[in-house]
């Protein structure tokens, strides 16, 4: 019996040939890929609308704080708010479905 980490076959081709032979004889059982599991989370302390409103307020504050110093800012407040709202909605709903671990 081969010891752990002991080389049994001289080449990878020999190893693959032996594996295919064992598989043909039914000695090797295919392993199924585990299905990803998403555990629904308990409802957060904020509603969706409250969470989105907080994100919009954060975007407005960030825009006000950074846009004064930026000479070549191409992001308007409306674009920043739209992106922030879209991301907040996605993140909140993904948290409820278990894809995102925290808000």
* Domain tally, the chain: 1
12 lies in some domain: no
pTM of the model: 0.56
Range of the domain at 76: 48-97
69 lies in some domain: yes
Judge whether 98 and 40 are in contact, CB under 8 Å: yes
Residue with tokens 């509603």: 47
83 lies in some domain: yes
Residues 45-89 have pLDDT tens digits of 889 999 999 999 999 998 888 866 666 667 788 999 999 999 999
- Average confidence score pLDDT of the chain: 83
1 lies in some domain: no
Q: Taking the alpha carbons of 75, 76, 77, 78 in that order, is the dihedral positive or negative?
A: negative
**In terms of pLDDT, which residue wins out, 74 or 14?**
14
3 lies in some domain: no
């Amino acid at each position: 019996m081969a010891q752990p980490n002991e080389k049994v076959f001289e080449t990878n081709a020999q190893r693959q040939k032996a594996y295919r032979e064992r598989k043909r004889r039914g000695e090797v059982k295919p392993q199924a890929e585990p299905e990803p599991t998403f555990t629904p989370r308990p409802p957060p302390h904020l509603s969706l609308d409250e969470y989105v409103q907080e994100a919009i307020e954060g975007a407005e504050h960030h825009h006000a704080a950074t846009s004064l110093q930026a000479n070549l800012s191409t992001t308007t407040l409306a674009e920043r708010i739209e992106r922030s709202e879209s991301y907040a909605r996605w993140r909140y709903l993904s948290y409820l479905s278990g894809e995102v671990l925290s808000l």
